[in-house]
Every structure is written in C-alpha cells, then in structure tokens.
C-alpha cells in the first residue's frame, strides 16, 4: 500500500511541475499527467519546459535540445508571432456595474453603464489603457518570452523583466529586460532586449535563471548602495528539482544586476528520507513587495516538497545584504480560492502587489486543473484576486487562513484572450511593488498555442481588469 500511495503522489506532483524552475516552479513541459482537482497541499507547481530533453550547455546545434516530442529535431519555428486577430476585443472599458462572477472573468468588452437618476450627475466612465496587444517579440525563431514582472516608474516608464533564451531552440533560461515608453494613446513602445542576469557556471544557478521580480528601495551590498532589488529562481539541474531563490541588485532599473553572494537567499535541499520517486521541486517563482520603500521587503515564493505545493511569505530586512534578515515562513491563505471546476484550489506561481491605502493585496496566479491536451503542463487560464485580512500586533499584515481570505476579481482564459494557454502572469506595479493605478489592474501574461511546439510560441500580452 505504501508503494502504491507513493506512486500516486509522485504522479500528482509531477503532473503540475513545469520547466526550469519557472514562475510556479518553472518545471518543463510534458512532465506528467494533467493536474486533477487538488487542495492547496496536494498540487505541485506548474512547469514550463521538458526536463529530460534539455541539455546542460548551450553548445548543441539549434533544434537538437528542444522539448519537441514529435521525434523531429532541428525543425524551424513555424509558429512565428502569435495571431492577434483572434484575441478578444478589450479596447473598451469593462462593465463594472455588476458584482464579479467568481466562476468566470468579467465581460470587459462592454462600456460601463453610466445611467444615473435624473437628479444625479452621471459618473465619469473608467478609461482603461488599450489591451490585447502583443507587447514585443523576438527577432528570430526558436526564442521564448515568458514569466513577466513589471515596474512602472513615477514618470510612466515601464520596465518588463522576463525569462528568455539566447540561442534558437536551446532551452537555457536568462532574464531579459525591455524599457517601455508610454505613448499618448496609453500603449507602450518597447526598446531592445537587454540580458540583465545569466546562469553562473559552477554556482547554484548554473543551469537556469528565471522568474524575476524587481522592486525599488535602498539596499547596501559590499560597500555600495543599490536602488533596485531582484529576486529570482535558479537551479543546477534539468529535472526541475531543487530550485532555489536568489537575489541581485542594480543601481538603475535596466541593470546591470549584480548577484548577491554565492549562495541562494532561500535554499532547498532534497529530503534524503523521501523516496526517489517523490518529486521535490523546491522553492521559486518569487514576488517581492516593499514594506517601507527602503530595505524591508515581503518575499513571496512557491514551495513544493513532500508536503505538497503552497505559497510562502516572509517579512525580510534586506537593508544590509551582507547580513540579510529573513522572517519566519508563513503560508499564504487559500480561503476563498476556487479552481476551474468550482472546487478548492491551491496557490502557486503568483505575483503580488500591495495597496497601502486600502491595506489589501492583489495577486495574479495560474488556475487549475491544467488542460488534458498538449501542452498539459501549463494553465489555460489565470486568476486575479484580492486578499483581504487583518492588521495584527507586531506585523503589518496577517496572511494565514484564519486572518485573510480571497475575493475573486476575474478569471481570464481562452474565451477572453483567444489563446489556448494563458499562464505565468505578472502584475503591473509601481517601483515599490504597490498599486500603480486605483482604477484598474494591468496583467502581463504569457500566451502559447497548443501542440508540441508550444514553447516556441511563448509571447507576452497584457490584459486590464477594472477595480471600480
């Protein structure tokens, strides 16, 4: 019986992990059967790339190490730039007159109802920035862009950080950055890509660097003062296990970023007492939010081990990165979360932002279960929700189930975007990880097509959700 239970647990864990150690965990595509309905303690992080077909170096010719299960190697990328003609029309403001339906995304194709009593003035309609557009695209085939995180500076300039590869059809994760300049119509024009962090040979992040999250603050390291902090996932293996979280700092938002120390800030080592058949994903998919606009930070990350998958938060002091202080691990509440089937869901691969005025958190994360069709290791839909809780003595905010619960704002999937897969999302936040606008949330998400070549179609789009 124990062997049977262990085998079943292994299947369940593998089914939810993705590639490198990605934004959930970024395991690789095709690592197991699709997720079935699971509680927050049974699921495993989603994956993004197939581990067994990924090589350890970049020396292979293009196409020879791609996670293509069709049996053909070196096949050129025929997916090209995603077809944006199928995307939902999101150029009109969202209908904010009705309470959010927690089972599906609100209709964002209609203008708000501004009808008011004759004796009252009609309220100003909420004007959302344009939506549904491809933000940028690689200049060559065999390149993926996914796992975005976004900061918006005070002047409206945006910096988007994301996971990408450098050599066509070679699955090795780097962290890229593009500067976005705002246009008069609310759109952004993005500049050329800059690689701001790379794997380090012989180090704990020698295989992949991915899942970035960046905020502004005041951080001291080796006698220098830095204004930007990045948390990211790194790993040394291609089997999507033993992922870890590290830090890097920069003086400007476009880098260069300097890796902090030679060890991860949150380590993970496989439990030797656990059967080798049990998947031990580790920690990753971090999201950092400033507490004081200086060195104190909330650090969120996914944790996947023998006890299942959950999202962790720690209150940290990174003012002096030569002696960082990490608070105790707290599991973030899943009260109020529902999966696509209406059952209880777990939380992973989540990005967070804080609204200090209302003292609430917002989050964007993948929904479960994953589709049964290929690729079955990434989600068809993502959710955006609000976490409301209580202030408690000694801390600014309580995240546990007894103190906090989720309100669903939207579930966005194929019906809204026109794409089969919608996953690995990031919220547009101000430079401190706080709410950038009081009227709406903008989500940058990864889309992809169906089929064995889906990885090479990964592109980043945006979607807007009205808050009033």
Q: What is the mean pLDDT of residues 81-86?
A: 40
> Would the pLDDT of 82 be above 80?
no
Distance CA 106, CA 466 (A): 9
If one counts every other C-beta atom within 10 angstroms of the C-beta of residue 273, the result is 6
**pLDDT tens digits, residue range 266-324?**
999 999 998 888 889 999 999 999 999 999 999 999 999 999 999 999 999 999 999 99
If one counts every other C-beta atom within 10 angstroms of the C-beta of residue 272, the result is 6
Q: What is the mean pLDDT of residues 405-430?
A: 95
**pLDDT tens digits, residue range 166-210?**
999 999 999 999 999 999 988 999 999 999 999 999 999 999 999
Kindly state the greatest CA–CA separation across the chain: 73
CATH number of the domain that residue 259 is part of: 2.115.10.20
**pLDDT tens digits, residue range 12-32?**
333 333 445 433 333 333 222
Structural domain for 211, as ranges: 2-466
- Which range, of 69-83, 261-275, 359-373, 418-432, averages the lowest pLDDT? 69-83
What is the total count of domains within the chain? Answer: 1
In 153-186, DSSP assigns E strands to 158-164, 174-182
How many Cα atoms occupy the beta-carbon half-sphere of 437 within 13 Å?
18
- Residue 437 confidence (pLDDT): 87
Q: Contact, 330 vs 396, CB < 8 A?
A: no
């Amino acid at each position: 019986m124990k062997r049977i239970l262990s085998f079943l647990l292994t299947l369940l864990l593998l089914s939810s992990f993705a590639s490198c150690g990605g934004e959930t965990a970024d395991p690789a595509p095709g690592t197991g059967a699709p997720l079935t309905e699971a509680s927050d303690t049974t699921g495993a992080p989603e994956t993004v790339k197939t581990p067994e077909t990924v090589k350890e170096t970049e020396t292979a010719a293009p196409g020879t190490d791609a996670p293509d299960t069709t049996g053909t190697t070196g096949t050129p990328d025929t997916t090209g730039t995603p077809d944006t003609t199928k995307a939902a029309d999101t150029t009109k403001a969202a209908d904010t007159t009705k309470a959010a339906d927690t089972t599906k995304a609100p209709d964002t194709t209609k203008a708000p109802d501004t009808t008011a009593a004759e004796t009252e003035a009609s309220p100003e309609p909420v004007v959302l920035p344009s939506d549904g557009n491809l933000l940028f695209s690689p200049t060559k085939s065999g390149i993926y862009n996914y796992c975005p995180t976004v900061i918006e500076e005070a002047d409206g300039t945006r910096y988007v950080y994301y996971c990408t590869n450098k050599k066509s059809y070679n699955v090795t994760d780097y962290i890229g950055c593009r500067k976005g300049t705002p246009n008069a119509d609310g759109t952004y024009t993005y500049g050329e890509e800059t690689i701001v962090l790379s794997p380090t040979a012989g180090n704990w992040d020698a295989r992949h660097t991915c899942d970035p999250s960046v905020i502004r603050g005041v951080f001291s390291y080796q006698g220098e003062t830095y204004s930007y902090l990045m948390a990211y996932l790194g790993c040394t293996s291609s089997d999507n296990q033993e992922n870890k979280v590290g830090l890097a700092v920069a003086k400007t938002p476009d880098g260069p970023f300097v890796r902090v120390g030679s060890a991860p800030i949150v380590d993970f080592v496989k439990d030797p007492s656990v059967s080798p058949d049990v998947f031990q994903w580790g920690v990753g998919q971090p999201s950092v939010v400033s507490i004081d606009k200086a060195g104190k930070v909330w650090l969120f990350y996914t944790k996947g081990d023998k006890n299942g998958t959950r999202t962790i938060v720690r209150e940290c002091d990174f003012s002096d990165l030569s002696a960082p202080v990490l608070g105790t691990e707290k599991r973030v509440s899943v009260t109020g979360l529902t999966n696509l089937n209406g059952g209880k869901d777990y939380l992973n691969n989540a990005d967070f932002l804080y609204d200090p005025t209302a003292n609430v958190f917002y989050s964007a994360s993948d929904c479960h279960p994953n589709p049964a069709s290929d690729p079955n290791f990434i989600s068809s839909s993502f959710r955006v929700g609000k976490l409301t809780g209580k202030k408690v003595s000694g801390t600014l905010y309580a995240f546990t189930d007894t103190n906090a619960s989720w309100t669903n704002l939207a579930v966005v999937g194929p019906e809204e975007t026109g794409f089969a897969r919608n996953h690995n999302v990031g919220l547009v936040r101000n430079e401190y990880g706080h709410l950038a606008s009081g009227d709406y949330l903008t989500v940058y998400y990864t889309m992809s097509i169906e089929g064995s070549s889906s990885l090479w179609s990964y592109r980043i789009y945006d979607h807007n959700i009205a808050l009033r």
